[in-house]
Structure 1
Amino acid sequence: MEFNRHISRRLHEEHDATLTLWGRVEATLAAGKSDPALLKSAAASLAHELDVHFDFEEKELFPRLAAFGEADIGELLAEEHTTIRSAGRRFIELVRSDPGAAELKPLALELAERLFSHVQKEEMSLLPMLEDLVDEEADGELTAAYTS
């Protein structure tokens, strides 16, 4: 889908990067290989997702959806954020402190699956809703808030 709003495009680009990176993580681990640099990259990217991307959506986007009568999707995505945050923080901790932990591979594969599903929901529902609900002025405000 082609997005006209700057904020939608920005989030879409981040989603693409997430899918690409976590696709590599999943393929590497499923093949029984080890790639510490890839896991460090995934942990750093995930930290951004948890601390910047998710927070922005929860504070700026989900309330806007609710104001337009679309609270359900925001609530569902926020619930997924909670689950992903919990697993994600554990993943980041393991990559930093114990990258050889037996728990790391199944946790990373679970995260990959959750992230793929979550991104798909956002791409199919959240971003198209933003295209319809956000005007040019709000788009500029949201984009500025996200990039600051």
Structure 2
Amino acid sequence: MFPTTRIGSLLHRDHMATVEALEALERLLSKNRKTPPLDAALKDWLIWLAGLLRAEVETHFGFEEDRVFPLFLAQGQTGIVEILSQEHETILPMARHLAAMAEAAVAAGRFADADWATFRMKGGELIERELFHIQKEEMGLLAGIAALIDPATDAALADAFAALER
């Protein structure tokens, strides 16, 4: 499916960037069962990952909840909003915790073995939940947006979302 609205395209682009990051995280976790040393490249990547996770769950989720979900509710589409809102509530603290763990490891110059084990476990859980969540949004939310909004609303949403990303 390819989004047919500007805002759908922007949300889709965010989703794909998050999927790529989660796939990279999955590769890191699967090839490093034991605590990896934090070289400069891994430190930089962890800082980037933490920023992307925070942007996804704070900016992206916030935009959907504040600007997109009300459009669905106004049309009586409560089911999808309820499901996605509940998932946001679950994913938000998970992503923030993983981002904080990554930042703490970078600040300390290493992962303690117990912290790495927790990071691997929490990272795996986040990957699973977030990928499934993105699939739902790609199939339901983006299609719904295309069906529910007019071109002027689409333009206003796209402009508002683009402004958040600056």
TM-score in terms of structure 1 length: 0.94
For 2:160 and 2:145, how far apart are their aligned partners in 1? 15
Three-state SS of the structure 1 residue aligned to 2:3 is coil
Q: Which runs of 5+ in 1 are unaligned?
A: none
Residue of structure 1 equivalent to 2:101: 94
Superposition pairs of residues 67-82 of structure 1, within 5 angstroms: 67-82=74-89
Q: Which runs of 5+ in 2 are unaligned?
A: 37-41
Q: Does 1:15 align with 2:30?
A: no
TM-score in terms of structure 2 length: 0.84
Mark the structure with the bigger radius of gyration: 2
Superposition pairs of residues 1-148 of structure 1, within 5 angstroms: 1-32=1-32, 34=36, 35-98=42-105, 100=111, 101=115, 102-148=117-163
Three-state SS of the structure 1 residue aligned to 2:23 is helix
Three-state SS of the structure 1 residue aligned to 2:141 is helix
User: How many residues are paired up?
Assistant: 148
**Superposition deviation, residue 51 in structure 1:** 1.6
> Which consecutive segments of 4 or more residues in structure 1 shift more than 4 A?
none
1:10-68 per-residue CA deviation (whole Å, 9 max, x = no partner) reads 00011111111111111221122644433322211011012210000001111110111
